[in-house]
Amino acid sequence: MARLNVVGPGLSLCCTILSAVGIIFLLLLGALFHSDNEELVEGKEGEVPTDPAMVAKGCYLAGFIYMGFFAFCWCQSYVNQKMAAEEQRFTNI
């Protein structure tokens, strides 16, 4: 089980939370660009994206990458909890 432990419990929990927030933010931002939200796609020349659909696809792709990080970090949290429980069991012997 120790070979599965890549990061510690604090880091895995922090990364899990940040990944969850990143997923929500990027998917919401992608949806706003996909719907051609006026605040995001209109403005001064040169400051707005020329192809909002491509920006939306980029946000969706980044959101799915964050889902992979979320799964990895959640698994690391699970492994850390199992290892802590196992260590606790052996210290009570």
Q: Summarize the confidence of residues 45-72 as an average pLDDT.
A: 91
**Residues 6 or more apart whose Cβ sits within 8 Å of residue 91:** none
The per-residue pLDDT for 2 is 54
* Cβ(28)–Cβ(93) below 8 Å: no
Which domain does 69 fall in, by range? 9-91
Q: Residue 2: inside a domain, yes or no? A: no
- The larger pLDDT score, comparing residue 43 to residue 73, is at 73
Quick one: DSSP state of residue 44? S
Task: Give 93's pLDDT tier (boundaries 50, 70, 90).
Answer: low
Question: How many residues appear in the chain?
Answer: 93
Q: What is the pTM of this model?
A: 0.80
Q: Is the pLDDT of residue 42 over 80?
A: no
Q: Residue 4: inside a domain, yes or no? A: no
Give percent of the chain with pLDDT exceeding 90: 57
Q: Residue 84: inside a domain, yes or no? A: yes
- Looking at every residue in the chain, the average pLDDT score rounds to 88
What is the number of structural domains in the chain? Answer: 1
Q: How would you class 9 by CB atoms within 10 Å of its CB: exposed for 0-12, middle for 13-18, buried for 19 or more?
A: middle
